[in-house]
Structures are given as structure tokens and as C-alpha cells.
Structure 1
Amino acid sequence: MAKLTKSKVKKAIPGTHGIVTNLADKCGVSRVHMSRYIHYDRNKDLLQLLKHERERLIDIAENKLFQEIEKGNTKVVKWFLSTQGKSRGYSKRQEIKHETDIKPVMSFEEEYKRFKELEEKNETK
């Protein structure tokens, strides 16, 4: 098994898409070994770099999504509106917001007092 160093791992992160297995393969170690290595306290910066690599991939995917929207891809437009346009009424399911002015029948204090009375009543039996 190859020896890991911070600089070796740091150089291998670009192009992994933030996937530990891809990083492990580039460094010649197992996924388990790589996962343990990047989770050591002294290597938290490597874990952050790996997370940033994943975020970069999400940015790329979002750009592709917006390109499809700009091209007029109806399926993509519908999907986007159903997930991101809910506040404007675009949703696949009906969401109902319920508000009421109903007051509780009994306050916590009243309920506790009633409980204690019943408890005392049962103890005397």
C-alpha cells in the first residue's frame, strides 16, 4: 500500500469530484484507508478541500441545468419550477397551511394540578 502524505493527497483531490474512492484510487490506497486518513484531526483541511471539490461539481451541474432552462428544455423547466418555484405556486402536490385560534382546554398548570389531585386520590385508596 502506498504511503500517504498531505501534499500527495492535496495534489490528487482535483478531478475526484469529492468522492473518497476516486481520491483513494489516485493515491493507490483503499477507500477505508483514505477515509480514515482525511478524517484525522490533523488532516481536517484535506477533508475541507474534498468538500470544496464536491461543491465545485454541484456548481457545474447547476450551470448545466441553467443552460438547459435557457435552451427552453420544457422538462427541465417544469422540474426546476416544481422544486424551486413553490413560493410562486409551482408544486406537484397541494400544500395546505392551517392556522387556528383555538385555545387549549386546559393550561399546563391546571393539568398538573389535576394530575396531582388524581395521584393523591389513588394513594389514599
Structure 2
Amino acid sequence: MLSERAEQLAGLLSGGQQQMLAIGRALMAKARYLLLDEPSMGLAPLVVADIYQKLARLRKELNLTMLLVDQNAKAALTLADRAYVLVNGQITRSGIAREFLEDAAIQEAFLGRKRAPICS
């Protein structure tokens, strides 16, 4: 838990602990909106899952609005209501996040799933 590191300098925390600290600081300031830039970057999969679970809980319990930018598309789409695909700074696609999770082209391009081969 982060509370065990209360006396430690923030720069000496692990990446996941630093992400949790940044979110905690925003909540202490009574933020109504969170802008999250790559909250999963460089973190172990279990830490990413923990952070996204906490974000989902905070979003629901505190009715927070979040703008999330993350290359971990599956995690981001699981949390999001809406999704946008940016290519060279331009929005090339937008829609309902859960529909993106089910879209074959999105799966192939961003979620690492290959389309099943067509059998004759």
C-alpha cells in the first residue's frame, strides 16, 4: 500500500506508486476532472490492472470525469465510455468504447488480435 511509503520521497517510489500518488494528490485537491497521460506506461501488467481497477472505482464513487490517453488500448477501452483514435494528431475514428472492443479492425490494429483466416 502507498501509505507504507508516507515518509519516502515521491521520486523514490515505483512507477505504479508514483501514478497512485499523482491520482491521490488530484483527489486531495477535490478535482472533478482527471487528465491521465499514459497511466500504464512502463508498469507491470498486475500494477496496470490495479491502477485501472482503482480508476474505475473512483470514477463510479466520485462521479469523476476522466480524459485518458494510453497506448494500452484494451485497458483504456475497458474503462472508457467513448473512444477516439488519433493518427498524426488527427481524430480518424470515434465512438462507443465497448463497440471498439468488439470491432475486428480495432482489435487487429490496436489490441493485438489477428482476424481468423477465411476458410474455403
Computing the radius of gyration from Cα coordinates, the structure with the larger value is 1
1 or 2, which has the higher helix percentage? 1
| TM-score in terms of structure 2 length | 0.28
1 or 2, which has the higher strand percentage? 2
| TM-score in terms of structure 1 length | 0.27
